[in-house]
């Protein structure tokens, strides 16, 4: 059983609060697949560059994305494997049509926990690991 501390609860609530905005969640999902400049992320998400920059600044302050400057361009990515896993789990639980996935069985026939890859195969749709972009755009 998980028994979180008060500081853990506060930090988790702030993190999930940031991801409540669909634009921010989309930005984190895309940045978890590679390194992209603000213009590319803004175009993919469907917002203006200033709007994307404001959201990315909040995500960066929270430690959900990291940034690197190259000349006049700012590139963003997600490096924390916990954040990447969180994004993957969110989209493994939500179908492309927005409905929630039924929980896959956690135990195999012998009563042992199934590996994540096997549980993923039991979902009614394939898990999208790339979220629409691949590689760096420079």
Residues 38 and 64 occupy one common structural domain: yes
Split into its structural domains, the chain has a count of 2
**Do 57 and 113 lie in a common domain?**
no
* Conformational region of residue 98, where left means phi above 0, alpha means psi within -120 to 50, and beta covers everything else: left
Q: Give the separation between CA 84 and CA 11, rounded to whole angstroms.
A: 17
User: 121: domain range?
Assistant: 96-127
Give the tens place of pLDDT for each residue, 77-87.
999 999 999 99
Q: Do 75 and 68 contact (CB within 8 A), yes or no?
A: yes
Q: pLDDT tens across 20-31, in order?
A: 999 999 999 999
Please state which of the ranges 29-33, 43-47, 113-117 shows the lowest mean pLDDT.
113-117
Max mean pLDDT among 48-57, 90-99, 129-138 falls in: 48-57
- Nearest 5 degrees, angle CA 96-CA 102-CA 105? 130
**132: in domain:** no
Q: Is the predicted pLDDT of residue 127 greater than 60, yes or no?
A: no
How far apart CA 77 and CA 101 sit, in angstroms, is 28
């Amino acid at each position: 059983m998980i028994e979180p501390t008060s500081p853990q609860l506060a930090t988790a609530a702030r993190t999930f609060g940031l991801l409540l905005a669909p634009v921010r969640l989309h930005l984190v999902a895309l940045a978890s697949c590679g390194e992209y400049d603000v213009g590319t992320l803004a175009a993919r998400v469907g917002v203006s560059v200033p709007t994307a920059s404001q959201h990315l600044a909040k995500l960066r302050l929270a430690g959900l994305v990291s940034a690197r400057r190259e000349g006049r361009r700012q590139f963003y990515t997600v490096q924390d494997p916990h954040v990447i896993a969180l994004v993957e789990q969110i989209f493994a639980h939500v179908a492309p049509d927005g409905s929630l996935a039924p929980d896959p069985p956690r135990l195999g026939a012998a009563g042992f926990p199934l590996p994540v890859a096997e549980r993923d195969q039991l979902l009614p749709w394939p898990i999208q690991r790339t979220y629409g972009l691949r590689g760096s755009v420079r």
